[in-house]
């Protein structure tokens, strides 16, 4: 299982990378391993508003379906359209195959998320 030091993590197993006011969001390597082969990703639409802690989509695998929760609040400015045709890309590299990009309304929300060490402890439980 890979946990990248330069990212922030939600307890619900989403990761965030903040570049200026744009947050890139995906699911963690731990989550994709737990789900197994991903067959569908339900993503928001560009222009949708997302709220930290609220559901924004879902990931379905051959084993289960899992809701996705936004770690940040703001406006969706891009979705990873490649996942519409090839959702299994997340299984190949959960960090390269992000789900959405959000123009954050409150960048300080990212600081409230878990760092790599704290997230690793959650995964061990």
CATH number of the domain encompassing residue 13: 2.40.50.100
Dihedral sign computed on CA atoms, order 101, 110, 36, 2: positive
Mean pLDDT, the chain, rounded, equals 95
1 assigned to some structural domain: no
Pairing of strands 74-79, 49-50: antiparallel
Instruction: Specify if 110 maps to a domain.
Output: no
Phi, psi of 5 (to 5 degrees): -65, -30
Domain range for 52: 8-105
- Give the model's pLDDT for residue 13: 96
Specify the pLDDT at position 66. Answer: 93
- pLDDT band of 102, cuts 50, 70, 90: very high
Letter string b/e over residues 28-59, b meaning 16 or more CB atoms within 10 A of that residue's CB: bbbbbebbeebeebbbbeeebebebeeebbeb
- Give the model's pLDDT for residue 87: 97
125 within domain boundaries: no
- Asked if residue 117 belongs to a domain, the reply is no
Say if 123 falls within a structural domain: no
**What's the pLDDT band for 32 if we cut at 50, 70, 90?**
very high
Residue 75 CB-density burial (10 A; 0-12 exposed, 13-18 middle, 19+ buried):
middle
Would residue 26 count as lying in a domain?
A: yes
Q: Is residue 120 part of a domain?
A: no
The gap from C-alpha 65 to its chain's centroid, in whole angstroms, comes to: 15
pLDDT surpasses 90 at 125:
no
pTM recorded for the entire structure? 0.95
Q: Is residue 115 in a domain?
A: no
The pair phi, psi for residue 23, each rounded to 5°, is -105, 130
- Count the residues in the chain: 125
List pLDDT tens digits, range 40-89: 999 999 999 999 999 999 999 998 899 999 999 999 999 999 999 999 99
Domain count, the chain: 1
């Amino acid at each position: 299982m890979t946990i990248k030091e330069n990212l922030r993590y939600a307890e619900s197993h989403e990761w965030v990378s903040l570049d200026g006011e744009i947050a890139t969001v995906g699911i963690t390597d731990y989550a994709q391993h737990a789900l197994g082969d991903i067959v569908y990703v339900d993503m928001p639409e560009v222009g949708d508003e997302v709220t930290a802690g609220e559901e924004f989509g879902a990931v379905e695998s051959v084993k289960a379906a899992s809701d996705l929760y936004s770690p940040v609040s703001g406006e969706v400015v891009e979705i990873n359209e490649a996942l519409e045709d090839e959702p299994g890309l997340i299984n190949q590299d959960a960090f390269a195959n992000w789900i959405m990009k959000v123009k954050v309304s409150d960048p300080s929300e990212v600081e409230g998320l878990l760092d790599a060490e704290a997230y690793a402890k959650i995964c061990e439980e």
